[in-house]
Amino acid sequence: MKAIIYALLAAAFYAINVPFSKLLLEHVGAATMAALLYLGAGIGIGIISLFHREEKREKLNKKDLPFVIGMIVLDIAAPILLMLGISCGSSSNASLLGNFEIVATTVIALVIFKEAVSRRLWTAIGLITLSGILLSFEGTGSFRFSYGSLFVLSATVCWGFENNCTRMISSKSTYEIVILKGVFSGLGSLIIAFIKREAMPQFIYIIFALLLGFVAYGLSIFLYVRAQNTLGAAKTSAYYAVAPFIGVLLSFVFLREKITGMYLIALAVMIAGSALTVADTLNRRHAHSHSHTFTHTHDGSTHTHTVTHSHEHNHYGADEKHEHHHSKKRLTRELNNQPTCN
């Protein structure tokens, strides 16, 4: 249950990213903005780590290096693509298209990392993909493709790969993961900003961007990694589906963006897909039958009894991570009801 709360809080923190980034992009270049967001995350979590001792977790080692490098490189590309998408299109569209990250993460988790994906989750993926297609075209009577949507979709694919890389090291020190991710991804984006010769923003906007990065990236990534360790990459991304809807609400409130007919249709399809995705991860109860064989000696003879019983349990998160709880009293009661052997 704690992992589910972590995933939902991660989504809530990230939701403020898109609308507030839209406002800051009027004063900050796309690559510079991406750099400041990640640097804010790394610096902020680094400061917290100085005052909060993490429970015992293994440190990253050489075997984790390929996943760490992949995580950092993808985290350099994804936010830059997202900032370009936000600057070209609307904040609300970018928020909803962000849900395509679920599709990318799930498909990559299935094909490359062999995570289990149910039929219900595949149905949800189809609905989310359809909503992304609807949002990728501008106007109800036009099939002119939106470059802003293309940038956002490309960012979600990068994050899909990055989520799976992070999943492979999520059992390690969360502080170490977020600090490495934030600092090195931020520096990489900053180098790109210098190559593009983006002008440095005013100091006040740098501070705002760093603070936004600490909350929307730092706290969100920290909680996301903790959730991934229990739920897995595909299912954690499912809970993350609530983030775009919070982002859309903020876009309407703060940016006064209009709602079109096509937008409402896409929103309805997206909600249906996200609801199915979340439902797939909630308490899935399964009944299992087990046979237990007991051998004992009675009056000088050895006797064997076979007891069959069934029970139900809940699955939270990845299918391979669950526990079976048996009742000793029930087994004893069933044994006592067996025929006496003479």
> Model confidence over 132-145: pLDDT tens digits?
677 666 554 444 55
Q: Is pLDDT larger for residue 91 or for residue 264?
A: 264
Please report which confidence band the pLDDT of residue 334 belongs to, taking 50, 70 and 90 as the band edges. Answer: very low
Structure tokens at 210: 């760093």
3-state secondary structure of 313: strand
Q: Are residues 79 and 173 in the same domain?
A: yes
Residue 1: pLDDT over 60: yes
Q: Are residues 207 and 299 in the same domain?
A: no
Residue 24: pLDDT over 90: yes
> CB of 185 within 8 A of CB of 76?
yes
Look at residues 229, 214, 213, 240 and name the one whose alpha carbon lies nearest to residue 159: 240
User: Would 208 be classed as within a structural domain?
Assistant: yes
Q: Are residues 199 and 184 in the same domain?
A: yes
Which structural domain range is residue 303 located in? 286-336
Q: Are residues 208 and 241 in the same domain?
A: yes
What's residue 281's pLDDT? Answer: 64
Q: Is pLDDT larger for residue 92 or for residue 183?
A: 183
What's residue 312's pLDDT? Answer: 40
User: Would 317 be classed as within a structural domain?
Assistant: yes
Please report which confidence band the pLDDT of residue 286 belongs to, taking 50, 70 and 90 as the band edges. Answer: very low
What's residue 166's pLDDT? Answer: 92
Residue 275: pLDDT over 60: yes
Q: Are residues 298 and 244 in the same domain?
A: no
Spell out the residues 6+ positions from residue 256 whose beta carbon is closer than 8 angstroms to its own: none
> Given 282, 304, 320, which residue is the final one in a domain?
282
> CB of 211 within 8 A of CB of 152?
no
Residue 67: pLDDT over 90: yes
In angstroms, rounded to a whole number, what is the distance separating the alpha carbons of residues 196 and 31?
A: 8
Q: Are residues 310 and 262 in the same domain?
A: no
What's residue 323's pLDDT? Answer: 40
Phi and psi dihedrals of 84, rounded to 5?
-65, -40
Domain count, the chain: 2
Q: Give mean pLDDT, residues 91-112.
A: 79
- What is the C-alpha R_g of the chain? 24
Residue 242: pLDDT over 50: yes
Residue 290: pLDDT over 50: no
What's residue 181's pLDDT? Answer: 93
Q: Give mean pLDDT, residues 222-229.
A: 90
User: Would 98 be classed as within a structural domain?
Assistant: yes
> CB of 293 within 8 A of CB of 305?
yes
> Given 282, 301, 319, which residue is the final one in a domain?
282
What's residue 145's pLDDT? Answer: 56
Q: At residue 303, what is the residue type?
A: H
User: Would 268 be classed as within a structural domain?
Assistant: yes
Q: Are residues 57 and 121 in the same domain?
A: yes
What's residue 135's pLDDT? Answer: 66
Structure tokens at 264: 């409402």
302 forms bridges with which residues in the sheet?
297
In angstroms, rounded to a whole number, what is the distance separating the alpha carbons of residues 125 and 109?
A: 13
User: Would 342 be classed as within a structural domain?
Assistant: no
User: Would 341 be classed as within a structural domain?
Assistant: no
User: Would 153 be classed as within a structural domain?
Assistant: yes
Q: Give mean pLDDT, residues 32-55.
A: 91
What's residue 220's pLDDT? Answer: 94
Please report which confidence band the pLDDT of residue 335 belongs to, taking 50, 70 and 90 as the band edges. Answer: very low
Distances (CA, A) of 235 to 107, 167, 244: 12, 11, 16
Write out pLDDT tens, residues 164-217.
999 899 999 999 999 999 999 999 999 999 998 999 999 999 999 999 999 999
Q: Give mean pLDDT, residues 30-41.
A: 94
Q: Are residues 172 and 87 in the same domain?
A: yes
Q: Give mean pLDDT, residues 312-321.
A: 41
Q: Give mean pLDDT, residues 272-291.
A: 61
In angstroms, rounded to a whole number, what is the distance separating the alpha carbons of residues 116 and 107?
A: 10
Most confident residue range from 62-66, 80-84, 121-125, 323-327: 62-66
DSSP state of 145: B
Residue 26: pLDDT over 60: yes
> Given 262, 282, 302, which residue is the final one in a domain?
282
Residue 232: pLDDT over 60: yes
Which region holds residue 300: left if phi is over 0, alpha if psi is between -120 and 50, else beta?
Answer: left
Q: Are residues 203 and 300 in the same domain?
A: no
In angstroms, rounded to a whole number, what is the distance separating the alpha carbons of residues 72 and 68?
A: 6
pTM of this structure: 0.69
Average pLDDT, the chain: 78
Q: Are residues 75 and 103 in the same domain?
A: yes
Q: Are residues 206 and 224 in the same domain?
A: yes
Q: Are residues 214 and 294 in the same domain?
A: no
Q: Is pLDDT larger for residue 88 or for residue 336?
A: 88
